[in-house]
Structure 1
Amino acid sequence: MTIEKHAGQQQIVCECGASQTRTYQADEFDVMVSDARREGFVFAKVAGEWTHTCQDCARPARPQGRLL
């Protein structure tokens, strides 16, 4: 849930370690965000901070077992 930067490149990384499929230059921020959304990342502002969550972590947990 961060934007990692290294050697002039950046990419969005979820707290679980899942990251975007490619890296981006600093001036490609809008493209990076657009691509991340297309890849299933979910963005939300929580307590004044932006979170970036991968598709798997954003999906609600499926209940185990049966109700009846």
Structure 2
Amino acid sequence: MSVERYSDTVALVCDACGVTTPRRDADEFQDLVDEAKADGWRVTRRDGVWQHHCDACDEETSALDQARRKFGLR
């Protein structure tokens, strides 16, 4: 689950560890994404599915992605 939606707020959820960003008003979704990226989160789309990784998990994910590219698995 990458995005938690509440009645009038949203938050991003790290797909690796489950940590969440602070909630923002639903109409400020792009601001939420921009702030998360500024804080080191990585937001990507793979096979048509959006993925969100916090700054701590992004380092691990980046290393795994590099290995996949090296061996042609991506």
Global fold match (TM > 0.5): yes
More strand by share: 1
Question: Deviation of residue 50 (structure 1)?
Answer: 1.0
More helix by share: 2
Question: Deviation of residue 30 (structure 1)?
Answer: 1.1
Partner of 2:24: 24
State TM-score, norm by structure 2: 0.71
Q: Using the alignment, how far apart are the partners of 1:26 and 1:9 within structure 2?
A: 4
**Tell me, what secondary structure is at the counterpart of 1:4?**
strand
In structure 2, give the amino acid aligned to 1:12: L
Question: Deviation of residue 60 (structure 1)?
Answer: 2.9
Label 1:17 to 1:60 Cα distance change in 2 as closer, same or farther (>3 A).
Answer: closer
Q: Using the alignment, how far apart are the partners of 2:11 and 2:36 within structure 1?
A: 9
Partner of 1:55: 55
Structure 2 residues without counterparts, runs of 5 or longer: 64-74
Give the aligned length. 61
RCO comparison, higher one (Cα < 8 Å, 6+): 1
Cα RMSD of the aligned pairs, angstroms, is 1.9
Rg comparison, structure with higher value: 1
